[in-house]
């Protein structure tokens, strides 16, 4: 960074509300998410002095544990999952002194009485009044916990000045529109919508947040961001891992509910929405909802021509054998759950009318990468285009969301020399090269925002419902029909062949993410 870059750096969070002392209660404290993500994130916020002072963290779960044994478990997990590998003993001890464990059943009022007395034991009044409840539990238990918290007077719908209570809920938020609406109705009996923070961890990723900066802090790109210039958009979120040990959950979810309904549609909303009138949470979320509502809904009879599902069969990735999905532990051997989905969707608004958006995601694909590729229209069929035909590559901007985070512009250039040859060249911005290897976990940002009371990076009620409205007809159509042989793909490939046909029939092709973008 040169001196001018320093001078021109806008520090937008100067003057932001200071985070207030609070207690964070994690329901599901024995679970994987707590040890792998939440505690490491809170620990890093602590060592970076971003947590309020004072703060307390209470783990609530059914298993018998002492404060000490819970802390020991968390420390072991931190050593394994911390992004700064070496855990500083002194910092950990200081952090761990704020952790306590509350044993109890989620349905048992006596457990909430114990939680209340634990909180009442804190001297600092704000630790008793400012409460962040993190529900890292099965969604079927969300409403129950909210009701119990309400019954124990730990959470009220009527916020009094100088006190707040917030509920952070993990996905999946419902399994279709009706269940999401029912869950929303239940939760809002005990908390106001503005107290509910629905997590989509993609929104905590630096590169996903940067979509807003990229689009609305530059004038050159936004001028092109419309149907006049853009031919189509591809959003790929590929994973080279299989379902692993999560089959119990995944069998019910599938790629459509696990990834597309939330992460891919959130990325789509940020890429395609109109500029918000301000950076306030409600303005940003209003625009995302407008965009999701403009996505053309499919009739169940249209699904098969716009959406392709797939399930992996045995194959290999980087020489490692991968089992078929149906052979994974806890998977029904005749399961119809999709591990891959690709879809073509249209957005019926002024900006995007007629521009196809192709989305795809899947497990056991050749590599793990998330990308948004905005492909511009081809040049008119004269001059070079007339001579090169389709070989003349159209311009494209690729937002590489992970890994090797960056942004690439592809355009054509003359190969130096006496012959006349044209080929695509790249202008590349790499986060690592520009800013150094700094990859904070999405959960750090999201926890900090929830503690600070900023809901911009969380999903609002109407947003989650709009996303289900897009996905429901697809799920309904698939529920009726078992997988056909064409819907399987060997692990380590880019999904069933029909996924390619979604584009090839329109004279387009997927651009697969490359290991080094």
C-alpha 380/C-alpha 21 separation (Å) is 61
Binding residues among 386-425 for ligand BG6 as defined by CB under 6 A: none
**Cβ-based nearer residue to ligand BG6, 52 or 172:** 172
**Cβ-based nearer residue to ligand BG6, 244 or 413:** 244
- Three-class HEC string of 207-267: HHHHHHHHHHCCHHHHCCCCCCCEEEEEEEEECCCCCHHHHHHHHHHHHHHHHHHHHHHHH
Site string for ligand BG6, 243-272 (x = CB under 6 A): ---------------x--------------
Query: CB nearest ligand BG6: which residue?
Result: 258
Interaction of residue 328 with ligand BG6, rule CB under 6 A = no
**Cβ-based nearer residue to ligand BG6, 165 or 236:** 236
Q: What share of the chain is helix, strand, coil (3-state, %, to 5)?
A: 40, 20, 40
Cβ 305 to ligand BG6 shortest distance, Å: 27
Closest to 444 (Cα-Cα) out of 266, 208, 204: 204
Cβ 419 to ligand BG6 shortest distance, Å: 44
How many CB atoms within 10 Å of residue 278?
A: 9
Decide: residue 331, CB within 10 A, 0-12 exposed, 13-18 middle, 19+ buried. Answer: buried
Closest to 363 (Cα-Cα) out of 208, 260, 492: 492
**Cβ-based nearer residue to ligand BG6, 81 or 122:** 81
In the beta sheet, which residues pair with residue 376? 230
**Cβ-based nearer residue to ligand BG6, 330 or 414:** 330
Cα dist from 28 to 1, 63, 101, whole Å: 43, 10, 11
Cβ 329 to ligand BG6 shortest distance, Å: 16
**Cβ-based nearer residue to ligand BG6, 249 or 435:** 249
Q: What are phi and psi of 291, to 5 degrees?
A: -65, -50
Estimate the crossing angle of helix 109-120 against helix 142-151, to 10 degrees.
Answer: 60
Q: Specify the DSSP element, H or E, that contains 498.
A: helix 497-504
Closest to 270 (Cα-Cα) out of 372, 377, 375: 372
Cβ 340 to ligand BG6 shortest distance, Å: 12
Cβ 243 to ligand BG6 shortest distance, Å: 8
**Dihedral sign from CA coordinates of 268, 269, 274, 275:** negative
Number of residues forming the site for ligand BG6 (CB under 6 A): 2
C-alpha 338/C-alpha 453 separation (Å) is 37
Cβ 239 to ligand BG6 shortest distance, Å: 5
Cβ 393 to ligand BG6 shortest distance, Å: 28
**Cβ-based nearer residue to ligand BG6, 28 or 104:** 28
> Kindly report the CA angle at 202 between 197 and 208, in degrees rounded to 5?
115
The residues annotated as belonging to the active site are 263
Estimate the crossing angle of helix 265-272 against helix 461-480, to 10 degrees.
Answer: 130
Cβ 42 to ligand BG6 shortest distance, Å: 18
Interaction of residue 338 with ligand BG6, rule CB under 6 A = no
Interaction of residue 239 with ligand BG6, rule CB under 6 A = yes
C-alpha 291/C-alpha 370 separation (Å) is 21
**Cβ-based nearer residue to ligand BG6, 258 or 338:** 258
Burial of 183-209, coded b for 16+ CB within 10 Å and e otherwise, reads bbeebeebbeeebbbbbbbbbbbbbbb
**Dihedral sign from CA coordinates of 333, 338, 339, 340:** positive
- The contact set with ligand BG6 (CB under 6 A) reads 239, 258
């Amino acid at each position: 960074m040169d001196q001018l870059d320093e001078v021109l750096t806008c520090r937008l969070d100067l003057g932001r509300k200071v985070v207030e002392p609070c207690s964070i209660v994690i329901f599901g404290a024995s679970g994987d998410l707590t040890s792998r993500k939440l505690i490491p994130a809170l620990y890093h916020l602590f060592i970076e002095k971003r947590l309020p002072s004072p703060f307390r963290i209470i783990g609530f779960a059914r298993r018998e544990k002492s404060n000490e044994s819970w802390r020991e478990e968390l420390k072991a997990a931190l050593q394994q999952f911390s992004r700064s590998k070496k855990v500083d003993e002194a910092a950990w001890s200081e952090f761990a002194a704020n952790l306590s464990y509350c044993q109890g059943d989620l349905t048992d009022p006596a457990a909430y009485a114990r939680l209340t007395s634990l909180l009442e034991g804190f001297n600092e009044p704000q630790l008793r009044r400012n409460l962040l409840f993190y529900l890292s539990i099965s969604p079927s238990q969300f409403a129950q916990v909210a009701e119990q918290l309400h019954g124990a007077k730990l959470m009220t719908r009527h916020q009094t000045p100088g006190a707040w209570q917030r509920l952070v809920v993990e996905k999946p938020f419902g399994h279709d529109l009706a269940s999401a609406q029912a869950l929303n109705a239940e939760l809002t009996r005990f908390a106001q919508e503005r107290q509910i923070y629905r997590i989509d961890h993609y929104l905590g990723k630096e590169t996903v947040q940067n979509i807003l900066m990229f689009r609305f802090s530059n004038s050159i790109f936004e001028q092109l961001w419309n149907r006049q210039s853009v031919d189509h958009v591809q959003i790929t979120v590929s994973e080279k891992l299989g379902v692993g040990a999560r089959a119990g959950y995944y069998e019910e979810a599938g790629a459509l509910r696990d990834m597309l309904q939330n992460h891919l549609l959130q990325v789509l909303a940020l890429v395609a929405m109109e500029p918000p009138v301000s950076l306030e949470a409600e303005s940003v979320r209003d625009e995302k909802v407008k965009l999701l509502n403009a996505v053309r809904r499919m009739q169940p009879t249209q699904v098969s021509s716009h959406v392709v599902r797939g399930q992996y069969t045995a194959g290999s990735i980087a020489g490692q054998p991968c089992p078929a999905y149906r052979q994974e532990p806890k998977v029904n051997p005749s399961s119809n759950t999709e591990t891959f989905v690709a879809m073509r969707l249209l957005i019926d608004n002024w900006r995007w009318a007629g521009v196809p958006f192709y989305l795809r995601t899947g497990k056991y694909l050749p590599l793990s990468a998330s990308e948004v590729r905005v492909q511009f229209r081809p040049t008119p069929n004269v001059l070079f285009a007339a001579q090169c035909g389709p070989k003349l590559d159209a311009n494209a901007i690729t937002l590489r969301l992970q890994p090797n985070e960056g942004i690439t512009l592809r355009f054509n250039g003359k190969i130096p020399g006496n012959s006349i040859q044209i080929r695509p060249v790249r202008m590349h911005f790499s986060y690592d090269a520009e800013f150094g290897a700094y990859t904070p976990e999405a959960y750090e940002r999201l926890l900090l925002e929830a503690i600070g009371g900023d809901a911009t990076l969380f999903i609002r009620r109407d947003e989650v419902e709009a996303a289900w409205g897009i996905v429901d007809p697809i799920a309904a159509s698939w529920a009726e029909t078992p997988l056909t042989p064409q819907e399987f793909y060997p692990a380590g490939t880019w999904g069933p062949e029909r996924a390619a046909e979604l584009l090839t029939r329109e004279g387009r092709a997927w651009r697969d993410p490359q290991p080094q973008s």
